[in-house]
Amino acid sequence: MQNLLTALKQEHEALKAQVALIKQHGVVTPDGFAGLQRLREILHAHVLHEDLDLYPRLEQAAVRDDNLRTLLDRFRGEMQEITAEANQFYQRYSAPVQSLDYARDVARLFSLLTNRIVTEEAVLYPYLEKAP
């Protein structure tokens, strides 16, 4: 279980580092926009990893824990919303745009990811540490 937890946390660090790199370059620059595309790839791989490894293990533990069952349902629903919003962002912007809407949408995407990472590590991952 520790290997999975370590891998997921490393993926979170990669996501945070990518956001920082994008901010460093600026979201309207070619490098910044390329970084946004890379962020999409990293996020997709992380969500797939969670779906294939994290949630199935926690589902097993949730059979004996109603609180965990409720939590998993909430986290899955929230992640579906975040993923849908991220997909809409990437469909909406095929190139960087000098606009307030673009800046606001980028900031929202970064905020969603950052908040989700903090919440997963503080609320969900402790259950993984205790899982058999």
Asked whether the predicted pLDDT for residue 1 surpasses 80, the reply is no
C-alpha Rg value of the chain to the nearest Å: 16
Q: What percent of the chain has pLDDT over 70?
A: 99
Cα distance between the two ends of the chain:
8
Average of per-residue pLDDT across 109-130: 95
Q: Given this model, what pLDDT does residue 130 score?
A: 86
What's the rounded Cα separation, in Å, for the pair 128 and 57?
8
What's the rounded Cα separation, in Å, for the pair 120 and 97?
32
pTM: 0.93
Q: What percent of the chain has pLDDT over 90?
A: 95
In which band, very low, low, confident or very high, does the pLDDT at 2 lie, cut at 50, 70 and 90?
confident
pLDDT in tens, 43-59: 999 999 999 999 999 99
